[in-house]
Amino acid sequence: MEFLPSPPRAVLFDRDGTLIVDVPYNADPTKVRPMPGAAEVLAGLRRSGIPVGVVTNQSGIGRGILSAEEVAKVNAAVEDLLGPFDIWEICPHAPGYGCVCRKPMPGLVLRASRRLGLDPVEVAVIGDIGADVKAAAAAGSRGVLVPTAATRPAETAAAPLVARDLAGAVDLLWGSR
């Protein structure tokens, strides 16, 4: 019999392409649109007492395309549409900066886990690209890929857990499927 790990005690989500429709370098809160099923999935986790958080690369800050204030306004719009999150972790660095927080590095997941008072093995990460799943694995967390049009076929093939939507991702984590 295969050992199934216990369900996660918290779920971290990528922001763009996972929780909200990806608008590259979005500085406009009015352009925030939830991904299908995101509000329902988050509400269900919250009702179950599961902390939810966001781990997001926002390289537009490091590239000088966005300000931290603009990103904060977009994040506030995300919360207005999808409800409050227990934790936000943001990497503001551009690629090549050499930080440990930019996914696929584990820094965002490790920091979010620590702030939640959890071991990373108790946390799951749901995202739409390989960097999200790789960050989870590098931190010792479980990762679930929910592919979109932006997801490369090789990323889907490499992901240990793949779901067609957010509800399916949560079902995989709780062994409902």
Annotated active-site residue 22? The verdict is no
Give residue for tokens 């306004």: 73
Is there a catalytic annotation at residue 14? yes
The span from the CA of 126 to the CA of 41, in Å, is 12
- Do 40 and 153 contact (CB within 8 A), yes or no? no
In DSSP notation, 91-125 reads E-PPTTS--SSSTTSSHHHHHHHHHHT--GGGEEE
Q: Which of 14, 80, 119, 165 is catalytic?
A: 14
Q: Is residue 104 within 8 Å of residue 141, measured between CB atoms? A: no
What gap in Å lies between CA 72 and CA 106, rounded to an integer? 22
Q: Which helix (H) or strand (E) holds 75?
A: helix 68-82
Tokens of 167: 């509800």
* Among 23, 53, 50, 49, CA closest to 35: 23
> Which residue in the list 16, 22, 119, 128 is annotated as catalytic?
16
Q: Which residues are catalytic?
A: 14, 16
